[in-house]
Amino acid sequence: MKYLLSFAGIGASVLCFWLAIRHVPFDQLAATLSGARYSWLLLALFCQLLAVFARAKLWAALLDYKARTVDTFWSEAIGYLFTNILPLRMGDPARIFALSRRSKLPIVQVAASACMERVLDLGTITLALLALIPWMNVPTQAKRAGEIFGLLVVLVFLSLILLLRFRSRGERLVLSLSKRLPASLAERLLTSSRHLFDGIAVFGNGRIVLCAILWSLWTWALTVGMYWCVLKGFRADATVVEATFMVVAICLAVTIPFSPGGIGVVQWVGQQALVLPFGARYDLTSALAVILTAHLAYYIVTCLLGLVGLSLFGLSFRNLRFRIREEPPVLPKLSESES
């Protein structure tokens, strides 16, 4: 199944990239790219760097600052590198593994915080889509996707509230189930469940929730800023609305993590996100030039940071990939005080 999904992801990349370039004259595309004001690209690179830092602060907040921001930063960078190269969004297990080993935190707790980060991402993207409605005619497909993701976020937050409200009952239920299992498996289940509850317990702290929401907003504001800078490089009158809708459309499109780094999918969806609602300002050629440049800026920053992160953590791409696949971290055993 893993290989089947990988091939499907590569096929989706090729198909979407072909859809993006099939009606674009390459000489016109080259002329558009050469005529851009690339001084704006430097600012776009800086915005992308700040976006990675903001996301690292977000992850540190979700871990109640039990992990250093410098460690979450380089772990995020490693995750970006793996996502850029491998299909099925392998960056998530890579960054979770890297941070767990670096910070000595239980991998279940780190994974829970990473999942909460994704939930906040969906919530922020949904809010961005709602904010666009007064300023533009949002396509029906985008509205429906936003409604689905908004409902998903609400359901997740309600589930978290219930888990926190009835944590003691949940722990007693897990304890009851563990008595029917072999000792080693029962101990592992108890430890995993406790670390899972610790990972989501931060949502019972209003200060942490507020910090996480603010850092999530900053992360996506800087991402929109990066796309806006690229747009300004091609059109002096580019607007934040155009950049925001590009970001929203791309994020909705790459939610299903098939293609490596979203290659192909990002180009086609980003192109259509400019052409369909803003057809009077962008054609297929100029829109493709914009998204190619924006994706290149993203790739340059995240891949370089990821390589530096691997070096600082004493890891290699091949070594970390092997560890994730063959040697998952062993959860620490319960100490006498914990049991």
Mean pLDDT of 288-306: 95
What pLDDT does 192 receive?
A: 63
User: What is d(CA 1, CA 14) in angstroms, rounded to the nearest whole number?
Assistant: 20
Bigger pLDDT: 314 vs 50:
50
Other C-beta atoms lying within 10 Å of the C-beta of residue 260: 20
pLDDT of residue 156: 77
pLDDT at 97 over 70: yes
CB atoms within 10 A of CB 33: 17
Averaged confidence pLDDT in the chain: 84
Q: What's the pTM?
A: 0.85
Pick the more confident residue, 162 or 195.
Answer: 162
128 has a pLDDT exceeding 70? yes
What are the Cα distances from residue 161, in Å, to 96, 149, 155, 224?
24, 18, 10, 31
Read off the pLDDT band of 237 (50, 70, 90). very high
3-class state of residue 264 by DSSP: coil
Average the pLDDT over 305-320 and give the result.
89
Which of 57-71, 151-165, 260-274, 292-306 has the weakest average pLDDT? Answer: 151-165
Model confidence at 2: pLDDT above 80: no
